[in-house]
Amino acid sequence: MPNVSSPSTVELVTKIWQRLLQTSELGADDNFFDVGGDSALAVQLFAEIAQSCGRQFPPVMIYHVPTIASQVELIEQPSQLELSPLIPLKSGDQDRPVFIAPGLGGGPAEFLELANHIDVPQSIYGLQPKGIEGIGDPSQRIEEMADFYLQAIRQLQPHGPYNFIGYSLGGLVTLEMARTLLTSNERIGLLLLLDAYPHINALSASQRLLLLAQRARYRLSNFGQPERTDIRLGGLESADDISTFAPAFDRVRAASYTALRDYRPSFYPGKVKFLRAAEVSEFPEDPVAVWSHLVADLEVETIPGDHLGMLTTHYEALAALLTRYLKEAAVV
């Protein structure tokens, strides 16, 4: 027999949505983010579901169950849910979709605004790190992260050309994904790294000295300023939101840092587009010095903002460049 949801559960979840989103015009298949929801409201949503239904789920599950119908199914049959790391950010053509990998401690939420401003016909997916839902152990190697994502990506898109965008740590992961696909004779349409660098220990001695001096100057100039956590915790802003998400994010962040520290990139025989932040912070100032001997064809451009601000403040300028790159890749 087909699974039939309880009318009482459907009504209960619908009323929670209506109260939080302050609207009665909701359908069972409406996407939470499309009707005014955000990550802060997702925290409240799952808190109310826990209080009303007695079932507790991490709020990050909103990316796996973004509709009333899917949340009802989760509540009534949680063991039936299959989690995919592919989180839809923008719907569109499934031919040659775009995949965006987050940085250390981040998640797909940090790309929602950016994805909405990328003007291409393809669907755009954010990659959700393993273990961020509190289910399963996070990956502690860049290569493991790449394999985890590729398993899901190749189910959705069996063959290339593939379009990958990797922010910060995610750039190292997409580099490994592209390398793996090239060994399988698959084509890469676009491989774009957003301010992505290996760990300082992977740099040459001279680069390490330059970076240490640069970091000292940066920290001195920012002494007394609060640490920015908005984007590193998936787009959350308030302390309450961060504390709610923190346990799962902390585990993923710790595992990701181990992966970053131990990773040593090897030569990539393809083309890489690199976008560096105009405002230098704690990351290398010159990506050419870091990557030129590790990439066969490296093209560098500069985007306004610092490492975090390029996504949070200057996302329109970034989206315009990504739109151009993706359109160029589509005609190759």
CA 91 to chain centre: 16
CATH number belonging to domain 7-80: 1.10.1200.10
Per-residue pLDDT of 290-304, as tens digits, reads 999 999 999 999 999
Domain extents for the chain? 7-80, 86-330
Kindly indicate whether the domain formed by 86-330 is annotated with CATH number 3.30.70.1150: no
DSSP string, 212-276: HHHHHHHHHHTTTPPPP-TTTTTT--SHHHHHHHHHHHHHHHHHHHHHHHH-----EEEEEEEEE
Q: Cα separations (Å) of 136 from 106, 108, 251? A: 17, 18, 11
Contact 326, 161 (CB under 8 A): no
State residue 1's pLDDT score. Answer: 34
pLDDT at 161: 95
pLDDT of residue 281: 82
pLDDT digits (tens, 9 = 90+) for 214-267: 888 888 877 766 655 444 433 334 444 444 445 667 888 889 999 999 999 999
* Mean pLDDT estimate for the chain: 85
Long-range contacts of 134-139 (CB under 8 A, 24+ apart): 134/58, 134/247, 134/248, 135/83, 137/255, 138/251, 138/252, 138/254, 138/255, 138/256, 139/255, 139/256, 139/259
Q: Please name every residue paired with 193 in a beta bridge, in sequence order, or none if there are none.
A: 166, 274
Q: CB count, 10 Å around CB of 112? A: 20
What is the pLDDT averaged over residues 127-145? 87
Examine the pLDDT at 285 and tell me if it is beyond 90.
Answer: no
pTM: 0.83
Angle between helices 39-53 and 239-262 (to 10 degrees): 110
Which residues lie across from 277 on neighbouring strands? 303
Q: Rounded to an integer, what distance in angstroms lies between the CA atom of residue 285 and that of residue 279?
A: 9
The tens digit of pLDDT for each residue in 149-171 reads: 999 999 999 998 999 999 999 99
Which pLDDT belongs to residue 324? Answer: 95
Q: Above 60 in pLDDT, residue 4? A: no
Above pLDDT 90, what percent of the chain?
Answer: 50
Residues 6+ apart with CB under 8 A from 174: 99, 101, 146, 164, 165, 166, 191, 193
CA distance 187 to 209: 38
The rounded distance, in Å, linking the Cα atoms of 21 and 41 is 8
